[in-house]
Chains A and B, each alone.
Chain A
Amino acid sequence: MKRILDHPKLITAFMALTTVGFIAVAALPSLWPDTFPALNPVRVDTDPENMLPADEAARVFHTEMKKKMSLHDMVVLGVVNEHHPEGVFNRASLEKIFELTEYAKTLRWPDPENPEKQIGVVEVDLLAPSTVDNMEQGGLGMVTFEWLMPQPPATDAAALAIRQKAARIPFLNGTLISEDGKAVALYIPITSKKVSHQVATALEEKIAQFSGDEEYHITGLPVAEDTFGVEMFIQMAISAPIAMVVIFLLMYFFFQRIVLIISPMIVAMVSVVWTMGLLIATGNTIHIMSSMIPIFIMPIAVLDAIHILSDFFDHYDAKRDRKETVLEVMKTLFRPMLYTTLTTMAGFASLAFTPIPPVQTFGLFIAFGVFAAWFWTMAFIPASIMLIPQNMLENFGLKQEKAQEEARPKLVRFLEALGKMTYAHPKYVIAVSVLLVVVAVYGIQRIRINDNPIKWFNPSHPIRVADRVLNEHFGGTYMAYLALEPEVAETGTGQHAEDFRERLSSHTKQLDGLVPMIGETAVQVNTEARRLRDAQLSEKAFLDGLETFVNDKLETVSFDEMEAWEALLLVIDQQRQQNQIFKQPEVLSYMGQLQDHLLTTGIVGKSNSLADVVKTVHRELFLGEAQAYRIPDTANAVAQTLITYQNSHRPQDLWHFVTPDYRTSSLWVQLKSGDNIDMAQVVESVDQFIQNNPPPVPLKHQWFGLTYINVIWQEKMVSGMLEAFIGSFLIVLVMMIVLFRSVIWGMLSMLPLTLTIGLIYGIIGLIGKDYDMPVAVLSALSLGLSVDYAIHFLARARMLQAQHGTWAAACIHVFGEPVRAIFRNAVVVGFGFLPLLAAPLVPYQTVGIFIAAILLAAGGATILILPALITLMQNWTFPKTQTMPPAKPTLKGGVS
C-alpha cells in the first residue's frame, strides 16, 4: 500500500496503459480485421436461440427439422387498409402489394462471409398473392391451376375476385389474407435471421415511397430479434453514459468535490473497459446478456470506491495528512472490502453453473469485472487522492460535513430517529418484516414465468404495433411447428420379408390368368425373397435387392414375360409405400382432428398441414363442393390427389408439410401470442390430446420453431437460475460465518439479502410482471449487492458495541455515519440506474428499476431489520458471559 502511495503517477500510468491495451485488442481487429487476423473482432449475437448450447437436444432437432422441411425464418410484412370499404382488395392497394412483392424478390446481397453465396430473401418460398397458386375447379370436369394474382388487377372488381379465390383456399385464408379482407400478409423467407433487419430496412425504404391509405407493418420473431441487436448498441451508447452522469451528480451532491468523485467514475470506466475488452478479445460475442455487463459492473465498482472516499472524508480532518489518512483507511477497509468483493464475485460466478452459455459468460465476466473494480479501487483510489494537490483538500472532511449536516439536518435526524425507533420497538419492525415475508411468499407463488422477445420492445415500438395489428387480422404471426414421425422403427427383418411374400402370393392369385407367366415369375421372386430374408437385411435393403433382381431380369427376358415382371415390380413398390404413413387416410384424418383441437386452445389462430392440402385438392377435383372437402378413402387416392397438387407452380410447397419419404410430417401452427406461457400451454394441450386420443399408428410428436425454442431456454433459465442461486447463497453464507467467526452473525448477515430477494420477487408476482430473462438474472445481482450492506452494518455494529460496551449505547452511533453511508450508497447507485427507464428496450428498463429497488430494499432491510434483530437477540448476539473481544482486524473496520 505504501508503495502505491509513493508512486501514484506510476499507478495511474499503468492503469491508463493497460486500459488502452484492452481497448486496442478489442478495437483494432474490429476496425482492421485484415491487419489483425489473430485477434478477435467485436462479434454481435442477437439470436435468442443461442441461449441454448448448440448441441442442446431441442435446438439440434429444430435445426435438423428446419432443414428436413426446407423451412426458413420469415419476415412478415402486413399491409392493412382500414379505409377502403373492401379493405386491401382494391386496385390501388393490390398494385402496391404486387410492387412490394416484386421488390422483395430482389432483396439479395453477396454474403460478406462467403461472397460467392447470396444472402437475403428466398424468392421461391415467398408467400404473396402474386407468388401463390389458386387452384379451383374450372367448371364441369375441369380443374385449373393459376397464379392467384399474376398481374395487379385492372379493376376493383378483379381485386375482389382475388379475395374470393383466396378465401376458398384454407392454406391462404387467415394466413395470406385476413378473413375480414382488410389485410394481406407477405411471408418473406430469409436465408438466415441475421439479414432480417437488413431486409426489413430495405422494405421500409420502399414503403416510404408509397402514398395512400394503406398501413404497413413488419414483424416476425427474426425481425424482432435482429432489431433488438441493433437497438442494443444504441442502448449501450446512450443509457449507460446517462447512468454514469446521474451517479456522478448524486455523488457530487453528497461529497461536493469533483476531484474526489471523478476517481470512482474512472474506476468504473476502467473496470467496464477491462471486462468488455477481455470479453471481445477472448472471442465471446456481445449478446443480449453480455451487453448488460457494463450496466451491472458500474454500480458495483462505484460502491467500493464510495466506501474509501467516505472514510477518508471522515478521517482526513483529524490527520490533515493524505498519506496517513489513506493508510489508516485502507488498513481498516482492506479485509471487509475484500469480503464484499468476494461475495459479489461468488454470486455472479455461480451463474457459470446455469445450463445457458450466454448467462455463464455474463456471470463469469461480471465476476471478473468486480475483481477489476476491486483491484483498481485498491490501487487507483488511494493513488488519485495522493495526486490531488494538498491545497484542494482544504476545508475538506468531517468538519466540513458537520457544517453541511447542520445545513440539512433532516437526513441525520431522520436516520437517528429511525435508529431509536428500531431500538425501542424492535418487535414492530420484526412484525412488519414478517408481514412483508408473508406478502412476499404470497407474491412469489403468483409469479408468472414468461417471456416474449417481441415484448422486449416498448408497446409503442413499431414492432409491437405491427405484432398487435397483424395478430388482430390474421391467424397469428408466431410460428411453431409440430413434427410427427412414426414411433417405431421399420419392422424387423423377418417380418417384412414374410409380409412381402404374403403380398406376393395374394397378388399372384389375383393376376393369375390376366397376366401371362405371372406364376412362374412369382416363384423366382419368392425364391429371391427367401434368400434375401436369410441375409437379414433391413426392409429398405431387402426391397432394393428385390428390385435390382427384377430389373436385371427385365433386361434379359423376352417381350412376353415383361408384363409379369413389371407387375411384380409394382408389388415391391407397394410394399415400400406401406411405410409412407403420411399417405394413409386415417393418419391424415387424425392430423385434421389434432388441428381442430389446436383451435380450441384459443391461442392457436390457425394451423396448416398436409391434411389441409389433400382436402383442398380433393374438393377442387370434385367440383369444389363443400362435402368433398375431406381426406379420400385410400392411400392411393391420397397419393393421386397429391400428384395433382404437384402440377402447380409451387410443387415444392408440399415438402414443407411432409418429407418426400412420407415418414415425417410437420404441422404449421400459427399462434396469436409469442408468450412462452401460451406456447407452453399449447404444448401441454397437444400432449393431453394425443394421450387421450391415441393416433391410428404410433406417432411421436415433437415441437420446433423459434416460438418453441424460446420456451425451452426459458425453462432451462428458470431451473438453472434457481440452482445457481441456492449454490451461491450457501457459498456466501459460509463466507459470512468465516468472516464473523460466528454462525449467528453469519446467518444474520444473510437476512437482508433473503428478505430483499423475497420482497422483489414477491412484488414481481404481485404486480404481474413476468419473470423473464432479465428478472431471472437479477437474483444474482441482489445476492451480490445486498450482502454488502449487511457486512458493513454488522461489522460496524460489532465494533461500536465493543467500544461502547452495550448495544443500547452503540446503536445510536451505528445510526450515525455507518448507516448514513449505506443510505447514501443505496441512493446514489439506486437512483443512478433509474435513467434506464427511458430506454426503448424493456429488458433494460426492467434491470434499471429492479437494480434501484434491490438497492433500496437491501439498504432498508439492513438498517431496519438488523438492528431490530440485534436488539431482540442481544443474549445471543452479544453474549453477556463473554466480554466482547477486542475486535479482530477483520471486524475492526469502521466501514462506512
Chain B
Amino acid sequence: MKKKLSSLGLILFSLLTYPLTGFSAEAELSADMIVKKAVQAAYYQGKDGRAQVSMTISDSQGRARQRRFTLLRRNLSDAGVIGDQQFYVYFHRPADVNQTVFMVWKNLGKDDDRWLYLPALDLVKRIAASDERTSFVGSDFFYEDVSGRGTDEDHHTLIETNQNFYLIESHPKDPSRVEFESYTSWIHRKTFIPIKISYFNKNKEHYRTYEALKVEKIQNFQTVVQARMTDLRTQSKTEVRYDKVEYNLNLPEEIFTERYLRNPPKRHLR
C-alpha cells in the first residue's frame, strides 16, 4: 500500500515538473531577476520621461478629489541598470496647490532625499524620508509606489508561472519598516509589467491592491497609462491616468535641483 502511494506520488511529481522543464529558457529566471526586470519595466523605461498625470481619489462614499500634476523623471544610471533616479512632480490643480512641487532623489542603498515646495507659504522643506510608506498627497498610493521600492528590500519567491504571468511572493527583510507582511505580484511574462499587486497584513488579510488598468506601447516602451490603487480597509481608491507620455527628452540635469523648486521649468512641464 505504501509503495503504491509513493509511486503514485512520483508520477504526479513528474507530471507537475514536466511543463516547467519544457520552458527551459524562461524557467531559468530567478525570482530576483523577474523582480528586477519588473522594476525596470515600471520605473526605468528610457533615460528620462514625462507624463501629465490626472489622479482621482474616490472615497467609500464615491466622493472624488482630483489632482493634476506633471511628472518628470531622469535616470542617473545607464540603460538596463537599476540605479539612482530623480523625480520632479509639479502640481497644476487643485488651484490652491498650483505650483506646489515635490522632488525626489532616489538613492539606492540609502534613504531618499525628498523636497517639498509650498508656494503660498514660500517654503522649501526637506522631508525626512525615514518612512516611504506614507500617503502620496492624500492618495492611496505611497511615495514608494511613485518612485519604486528597492528590489533588495524584500525576499522574493517565485510561486507560480502560468501562461501569462509570474506570481512572485515578497517578504520584507526588515518587517519593522513596513506595514505589510507580504505582497504578491502578477508580473506579465512578456513585458514584465506588474499587472496586479496584492498586499497582506500580519493577519494574512488582503488589504491593498494595485492594478495596471491599461498598457500602451509608447516610443517602443510598454507603458502603464492607467492604474488603480485600492485600500480595501477604507474602501478608498485612487486612479491615475498618464497622458502625453514621452521618453528620452534629454531633460536638463539642473531641473532636478532645489533652485528649480521655486522657479518651475515651464517649458518642460507641458
Chain A interface residues (CB < 8 Å from chain B): 67-68, 70, 102, 105-106, 123-124, 133, 138, 141-147, 150-151, 559, 562-563, 566, 569-571, 573-574, 576-577, 580, 583, 618, 621-622, 632, 634-641, 643-644, 646-652, 654-655, 659-661
Contacts and interface: CB of A to CB of B under 8 A. Distances in A.
Given A147-B131, A639-B96, A644 B118 contact: yes
B207 to A, nearest CB: 8
A635 B96 CA distance: 7
A204 B177 CA distance: 30
B112 to A, nearest CB: 13
A144 B63 contact: no
A646 B138 contact: yes
Interface string B36-68: 000000000000000000000001110111000
A141 B92 CA distance: 24
Contact of A144 (B59, B94, B97, B130): B130
10 contacts: A142-B126, A143-B116, A573-B95, A637-B121, A643-B137, A647-B143, A650-B135, A652-B236, A660-B64, A661-B63
A143 B134 contact: no
Contacts, number: 133
Contacts of B128: 138, 142-144, 146
Contact of A145 (B59, B134, B203): B134
Q: Find the residue from B60, B97, B116, B120 having the highest chain A CB count within 10 A.
A: B120
A583 B95 CA distance: 12
Contacts of A640: 96-97, 100, 118-121
Contact of A146 (B61, B131, B202): B131
Nearest to A648: B134
Given A145-B134, A574-B95, A652-B236, A634 B120 contact: yes
Contacts of A636: 96-97, 119-120
B123 interface: yes
Given A643-B138, A648-B135, A573 B176 contact: no
Contacts of B92: 566, 569-570
Contacts of A635: 96
A678 B41 CA distance: 62
A347 to B, nearest CB: 47
B124 interface: yes
A577 B234 contact: no
Contacts of A68: 61
A649 B95 contact: no
Grouping DSSP codes into helix (H, G, I), strand (E, B) and loop, the A interface class, with mixed when no group exceeds half, is helix
B270 interface: yes
A646 B119 CA distance: 17
A53 to B, nearest CB: 25
Given A577-B96, A643-B137, 14 more contacts: A68-B61, A133-B134, A144-B127, A145-B127, A569-B92, A574-B96, A577-B95, A618-B121, A622-B123, A637-B120, A640-B120, A640-B121, A643-B100, A651-B138
A659 B63 CA distance: 9
By Cβ-Cβ distance, the 9 closest A-B pairs, closest first, are A646-B138, A639-B96, A573-B95, A636-B120, A637-B120, A144-B128, A138-B128, A640-B118, A651-B135
Contact of A151 (B137, B176, B203, B266): B176
B3 interface: no
Given A573-B95, A644-B118, A146 B130 contact: yes
Nearest to B91: A643
Contact of A563 (B59, B98, B121, B270): B270
Contacts of A580: 96
B214 interface: no
Contacts of A559: 270
Nearest to A640: B118
A569 B93 contact: yes
Nearest to B231: A124
A150 B179 CA distance: 10
Contacts of B260: none
Interface in B180-206: 202-203
Contacts of A576: 95
B41 to A, nearest CB: 27
Interface in B104-155: 116, 118-121, 123-128, 130-131, 133-139, 143
A145 B63 CA distance: 26
A644 B115 CA distance: 11
Contacts of A650: 135
B120 A632 contact: yes
Contacts of B233: 123-124
A80 B124 CA distance: 42
A105 B204 CA distance: 13
A470 to B, nearest CB: 27
A563 to B, nearest CB: 7
Contacts of B133: 649
B93 A124 contact: no
B97 A643 contact: yes
Given A647-B137, A651-B135, A660 B95 contact: no
B138 A649 contact: no
A70 B231 CA distance: 15
A273 B270 CA distance: 79
Nearest to A649: B134
A640 to B, nearest CB: 4
A637 B266 CA distance: 22
A546 to B, nearest CB: 13
A145 B130 CA distance: 8
Contact of A641 (B61, B121, B202): B121
Contacts of A644: 116, 118, 125
Nearest to B118: A640
Nearest to A573: B95
Contacts of B137: 643, 646-647
A621 B135 contact: no
Contacts of B120: 632, 634, 636-637, 639-640
A647 B270 contact: no
Given A124-B233, A562-B270, A570-B93, A647 B130 contact: no
B125 A143 contact: yes
Given A145-B131, A640-B118, A643-B137, A573 B125 contact: no
